[in-house]
Amino acid sequence: MKRREFIALLGGAAAAPLILRPLAAGAQQAIPTVGFLTSGSLDAFAGLMAPLRQGLKETGFVEGRNLVIEARGADGQFDRTPRLAADLVQRNVAVIVTTGRGSAQAARSATMTIPLVFLSQDDPVKFGLVASLNRPGGTATGIALLATDLLSKRLEFVRQLASTAAPVAVLVNPKSAEVEPQIKEVQEAARSVGQPIEFLNASTASEIDAAFAALAGLRAGALIVSTDAYLFSQRDRIAALAARHAVPAIYDRREFAAAGGLMSYGTHAADAFRQLGLYAGKILKGAKPADLPVEQVARFELVINLKTAKALGLSLPPTLLALADEVIE
């Protein structure tokens, strides 16, 4: 072999790995992205992202290692939610996780092909997300809290703390996709026990302030805060205003009571978010949403903030305290 040919052969052998390395790297599976969408604020859901990540971890996906999470929040500006959903679709996320009907419907309108894992406060069959709870069909599944079914129980609890002759105020967000079934539920519950009720609307911080200012004129004996992503994001403001106006109030999630609210009754949100993570992880591993039945959260909890009760000068019935799953002192 001539010297020139030998040198060329060595040069070709040395160059070969440089060509193979990028090919090998390109052959590796891309890291999947999970999109998270809420009509509320991301700050409000910060504490619930940990159980979501835990569910993903239990299926083998860890953010920063083999998973990316892209989170979007509309901060209560519901007209922004469809644009945020479209942005997640453009980023080609592998699955979209949503909270509330509005964000779920926005995601579904943006794409029918990307799998959707939703957290629904009411029946997802009624608003067309799935064909049935046991057999969802299509590309969507998730968790149904059926939170509107709990309003009658909240009314029952709060009536123990106020005169039944005084109206019970109900704070709702008129822009929420879930508002109509919640209004209907509480109206029927109040009618069945002869309880007068008054609705207060609020979809901005200033409207929340105005709603509480109206409580004095209504002489409301108690307050129920409806289930809503934006109102949840304003829980610190709402709890503080309820204390300032000395009105006994009940909420849908423990986080309100932890923020100084008097009491809450509803599903255990951390359990629901962990299940969202589990479902998202299963889909990333190849499961089809159509084969994953919509789960119904079975764990409900009554949380009472005893410190707030004392500040309001309330003497809580022993029967109510006995029912509490947690008492914050």
Residue where the block lists tokens 């006995």: 322
Share of the chain above pLDDT 90, in %: 71
- Report the pLDDT averaged over residues 151-176: 91
Of 26-40, 229-243, 291-305, the one with minimum mean pLDDT is: 26-40
**Which tens digits make up the pLDDT trace of 284-317?**
999 999 999 999 887 789 999 999 999 999 999 9
- The alpha carbon of 145 is separated from its chain's Cα centroid by a whole number of angstroms, namely 10
Question: So what's the pLDDT on residue 20?
Answer: 27
CA distance 104 to 145: 14
Integer CA distances (angstroms), 9 to 17, 19, 21, 77, in order:
14, 16, 20, 66
- Report the pLDDT averaged over residues 51-72: 97
Question: So what's the pLDDT on residue 288?
Answer: 97
Cα three-residue angle 234-235-240, rounded to 5 degrees: 105
Q: Band of the pLDDT at 54, cuts 50, 70, 90? A: very high
CA distance 276 to 133: 15
At residue 186, does pLDDT exceed 70? yes
Question: So what's the pLDDT on residue 91?
Answer: 95
Q: Average pLDDT of the chain?
A: 88
Which H helix or E strand runs over 244? helix 235-244
Question: So what's the pLDDT on residue 13?
Answer: 38
CA distance 278 to 129: 19
More confident residue, 306 or 25: 306
Which H helix or E strand runs over 263? strand 263-267
In the chain the domains, ranked by start, together with CATH numbers, are 33-147+268-299 (3.40.50.2300), 148-267+301-328 (3.40.50.2300)
**SS3 letters across 115-175:** CEEEEECCCCCCCCCCCCCCCCCCCEEEEECCHHHHHHHHHHHHHCCCCCCCCEEEEECCC
More confident residue, 76 or 21: 76
